[in-house]
Amino acid sequence: MSFSRESKEEILKTDIEDDSASLAFLSGLLHSCGEIEKKNNHVYVKIVSDVDKLFGYCQKIIKKLYGDNVEAEVAESYNNINKNTYYEISFDVEKFKQMLVDVGILDATNGLSFNFEIDKNLLHEDEARRAFIKGVYIGASTSSIKLSTDSAQSCGSGYHMEFSSPSHEFLLEFSSILAEYNIIGKIFERKNAFVLYIKDVNTIQDLLALVGASESVLKLSNEIVTRELRNKVNRQVNCINANINKTVEASLKQVNAINTIINTIGLESLPEDLQEVAVLRLANQEESLDELLKLSTIKLTRSGLNHRFRKLIKIAHDLEE
Distances (CA, A) of 161 to 53, 194, 321: 22, 14, 64
Q: How would residue 237 be classed by pLDDT, with cut points 50, 70 and 90?
A: confident
Q: Which secondary-structure segment (H or E) carries 89?
A: strand 84-92
Averaged pLDDT score across all residues of the chain? 85
Exposed e or buried b for every residue in 31-58, given b needs 16+ CB within 10 A?
Answer: bbbbeeeeeeeeebbbbebebeebbebb
DSSP-derived secondary structure letter, 112 = -
- Name the residue among 208, 223, 222, 196 with its Cα closest to residue 8: 208
Q: 6-10, 76-80, 125-129: which range is least confident on average?
A: 76-80
Mean pLDDT, residues 97-123 taken together: 82
299: helix, strand or coil: coil
Cα–Cα distance for residue pair 191/183, rounded to 1 Å: 25
* pLDDT surpasses 70 at 123: yes
Residues 6 or more apart from 87 whose CB is under 8 A from it? 48, 49, 50, 51, 52, 54, 55, 74, 75, 76
Cα–Cα distance for residue pair 274/290, rounded to 1 Å: 18
pLDDT tens, position by position, 151-199: 555 555 678 899 999 999 999 999 999 999 999 999 999 888 899 999 9
pLDDT tens, position by position, 66-102: 886 655 666 666 555 556 777 888 888 888 888 888 8
Domains and CATH numbers, the chain: 3-212 (3.10.28.10), 235-320 (no CATH)
